[in-house]
Structure 1
């Protein structure tokens, strides 16, 4: 069980590092938007390339940070239900959700996503607009990359929840942060397994 947590921590480190670096895309995104707005207001005309660059930066930012958000438990979920469950039940629900929803969906997107990018690359796909951006395969490649990171995050969370539900009590505190036990002390965590 300790090995599962070490693998999970390693996955977390990779996904978190990529997510943190990708979050820096917010800076060029904001600068591009500001420049585009100023150009439209005072220059009288917008730029298709700038608009497409905004979309591309936003897409890359979202896709590359998606797994990071999942690891940090900052994604959208129904807290009204989840917060009223006991930690062990939360972990079981999280494991079932990962096996039934997250990992299979990521596998489908990865399976079809690589072909999606390859066709775009082979066809030298460009923007539908004559003044738009070229090399459309670059932005399309963030889809399988992002879902690959999400799959890694889902696997990591599954392993932590598995250790929390089936592992020894001494690992519960380390494994249970995702299911809301990070504020509990060791005595409370031992009771939470019931």
Structure 2
């Protein structure tokens, strides 16, 4: 049990660190976009590379931010019934949802994108636009990275909820946060 708890905590720390780094990228993205707008409309200068940089940063923040969002319980949930569940029932829903839906979906993303990303890397795919960034292969790599980081956080969530179910008896409401 101690190992499982330590694993869950380690994955959570990784997601926290990723979230902090991605927040810095959000600021870089905002500054880059501001520079594109000022250069374009203030000085009539355009840069496809800078515009693509904003797209790459946005994709990075969005794709790699999924694990952090899950860790922060910020994902979309239809909680018509869920919000009325007891903490133990919520733990069951979260555990089973992660095992039955989220982890297989992450596996599907990794498997279905692997060849697509591999082909891109084999030719070191670059931008189709003249003056664009020569790193489309890196952008495409975000697909399996997103799935892997999300799967890791899903494991942490399943562990967290499973440990809650194992350690807290039905009458032990303090242990489940009720």
Report the CA distance between 1:158 and its aligned residue. 0.4
**Using a 3 Å threshold, how does the CA distance of structure 1 residues 34 and 83 change in structure 2: closer, same or farther?**
same
Give, in whole Å, the separation in 2 of the partners of 1:187 and 1:160.
Answer: 16
1:189 aligns with 2:161: no
Give, in whole Å, the separation in 2 of the partners of 1:13 and 1:190.
Answer: 22
1:133 corresponds to which residue? 133
1:143 corresponds to which residue? 143
Normalising by structure 1, what TM-score?
Answer: 0.82
Give, in whole Å, the separation in 2 of the partners of 1:71 and 1:124.
Answer: 33
What residue ranges of structure 2 are gaps of 5+ in the alignment?
none
What residue ranges of structure 1 are gaps of 5+ in the alignment?
173-185
Deviates more, 1:16-25 or 1:33-42: 16-25
Count residues in correspondence.
178
1:87 corresponds to which residue? 87
Report the CA distance between 1:45 and its aligned residue. 4.4
Report the CA distance between 1:91 and its aligned residue. 1.0
* C-alpha contact (below 8 Å) 1:88/1:192 kept by paired residues: no
How do 1:45-56 residues align onto structure 2 when only pairs under 5 Å count?
45-56=45-56
Give, in whole Å, the separation in 2 of the partners of 1:25 and 1:114.
Answer: 25
For the residue of structure 1 that corresponds to 2:84, the secondary structure is coil
Report the CA distance between 1:187 and its aligned residue. 5.8
* C-alpha contact (below 8 Å) 2:87/2:176 kept by paired residues: no
1:18 corresponds to which residue? 18
2:8 corresponds to which residue? 8
**Using a 3 Å threshold, how does the CA distance of structure 1 residues 54 and 190 change in structure 2: closer, same or farther?**
closer
**Using a 3 Å threshold, how does the CA distance of structure 1 residues 90 and 191 change in structure 2: closer, same or farther?**
closer
Normalising by structure 2, what TM-score?
Answer: 0.88
Give, in whole Å, the separation in 2 of the partners of 1:39 and 1:141.
Answer: 30
1:169 corresponds to which residue? 168
Q: Indicate the RMSD between aligned Cα atoms, in angstroms.
A: 2.4
**Using a 3 Å threshold, how does the CA distance of structure 1 residues 187 and 88 change in structure 2: closer, same or farther?**
closer
